[in-house]
Amino acid sequence: MMTGHDDPRDDGDNPDIGRRRQDRQKVGLQGRYRRGSGVPKDVWITDLSQTGCRFYDRFGTMKAGTPITLRLGTFGPIPAVVRWWDNQVNGVEFVEPLHISVFEHVCTQLSEKPPAHLDFSRL
């Protein structure tokens, strides 16, 4: 599990990279997000904390500060804000932290092993 303090993208230029409130749990979870009332996009969520997550978006590009709603498997929509984007991988912060029971259920009951090409634990 990566902590916010050893994020290799933290070059000091982006105040949001490398600064997390909680460590993230590695997961493999299908999700879906949308911007406003736009078309929903399927994504693969690779790690999760009560306060945010990281996901792979094959075709999307997003800017920090973009508000979205996100589904974690069957849970959601969850309001969130994009904090960073790097080569099809997004970091988002939830507007309100997930309830501990939801977080634990998602991590233990809904999570699968991510496909090898979507394993971003090195990031």
Whose CA is closest to 64, among 44, 93, 29? Answer: 93
Closest of 9, 99, 11 to residue 54, by C-alpha? 9
pLDDT of residue 10: 47
Q: What per-residue confidence (pLDDT) applies to 81? A: 97
Query: Going along the chain, which residue ranges are E strands?
Result: 25-34, 41-48, 52-56, 67-72, 75-86, 89-94
State yes or no: pLDDT of 1 exceeds 50: no
pLDDT at 123 over 70: no
pLDDT digits (tens, 9 = 90+) for 36-86: 899 999 999 989 999 999 999 888 788 999 999 999 988 999 999 999 998
3-state secondary structure of 25: strand
Higher-confidence position of 119 and 88: 88
Tally of CB atoms within 10 A around 106:
22
